[in-house]
Amino acid sequence: MSYKERREKLYTWMSENGISLMMVEDTEGRRDLGLRYLSGQPGDALLFLCAAKKQCVLAAWDVNMARLYGDADAIVALNDWGRRPETALPEAAKLFKLPYGSKIEVPPATPYPLFLRLIEAVGDYDVLCREEGAHKAVKYMRAVKDADEIAIYRKVSAFTNKLMDEIEKSVRNKKIKTEMDVALLIDARARDYGGEGLGFETLAAGPTRSFGIHAFPAYTAGPFGGSGCSILDFGIKYLGYTSDVTMTFVGAPISATQQKLINLVEKAAKIATPMMVPGASCREIALAVDKLFSAGKRHMPHGLGHGVGLEAHEAPLLNSRSDNDDVLQPGMVVTLEPGLYHETLGGVRLENDILITEKDNEVLTKSRIVRL
């Protein structure tokens, strides 16, 4: 699906909901990858979309970069529009000849002082800033991948699987000895494969630090892959889209408690994977894993998974919160990441990326618990 086709879907939603103009902002301090999803522009720009004219204008800080990557009906230099949202928004309204009284929607992340300045700047327009609006509609559009996005996911998953094989081999033959060794290898390979780098900072936690859900610091010069449990959580970014996998490396000797954690996590993945089908309740899947862990007198301190895409964490959410009404749909790419942690013996997590198909699912990545 082209950027124009994505925008067409959004224009339809805007028209049905009475929104004449929408502003998407991706600037320092207020990042929104909806900008890249709708225009291809990697960042540092404002995108204005007019429903009536079915046209958009990209106001970019780096106009040369926008001409290379951006897909819009018009591209302007943000500097020419005052380099601020409150000076650019009136220019966009003027460009589209927006009738007075029209509804303009701005991002829900807009700070209140800026919101007031936007209202003052545009005068006789109705400025909306809300969570349940056009930006949420884009969020859920992004959750269901189109054919082009799925093709990207097959490629980035293949890169990720190849790298996991190399990592396992290198840990086994002692070429990787430290957290830093594995983290730097991942960064290098992500670029060797033609990717944009990492989807997020690699989390490499050796046996003394794997008790944390997200180790801090993300990695050190400390040992990795020795006796006990080491956790490795990483993602490769390709054409903007990131994989997200977690491997656990288990080195002998291990205790009975550690073996119990390993068994429970593997069983959780085995139980939950076949449940990930179109129409399935994300909350019900998470509750099934919670039930398994409770029977083993354990508790998972984080959600069971989440959507991935241009961001490492997107809709839908796999968790057991009472307010979670997300449902799996064909085209979604969702992580499944059961994990258990012990304050002194470390943790175990197993995470794979799963594509929801028309009738079932396809496990795209081949993460595993590695017995050394």
pLDDT over 70 (residue 262): yes
Q: Above pLDDT 70, what percent of the chain?
A: 100
Q: Which amino acid is at 239?
A: L
- 10 vs 35: CA distance, rounded Å: 13
Could you tell me which residues come within 8 angstroms of residue 295 by beta carbon, excluding any fewer than 6 positions away?
A: none
pLDDT class of 29 with cuts at 50, 70, 90: confident
CATH superfamily entry for domain 144-371:
Creatinase/methionine aminopeptidase superfamily (3.90.230.10)
pLDDT grade for 1, boundaries at 50, 70 and 90: low
Q: Which residues pair with 287 in a beta bridge?
A: none
Mean pLDDT value of segment 210-228: 95
Work out the mean pLDDT of the chain and round it to a whole number.
96
139 pLDDT more than 90 = yes
- Cα distance between the two ends of the chain: 44
Domain ranges of the chain: 3-141, 144-371
Q: Which superfamily, per CATH, for 3-141?
A: Creatinase/prolidase N-terminal domain (3.40.350.10)
Report residue 326's pLDDT band, with 50, 70 and 90 as the boundaries. Answer: very high
Whether residue 219 contacts residue 179, with contact meaning beta carbons closer than 8 Å, is answered with yes
- In this prediction, residues 2-11 reach a mean pLDDT of 95
Tell me the average pLDDT across 187-194.
Answer: 95
Q: How many CB atoms lie within 10 A of CB 136?
A: 13
Category of 83 on φ-ψ map: left (φ > 0), alpha (ψ -120 to 50) or beta? left
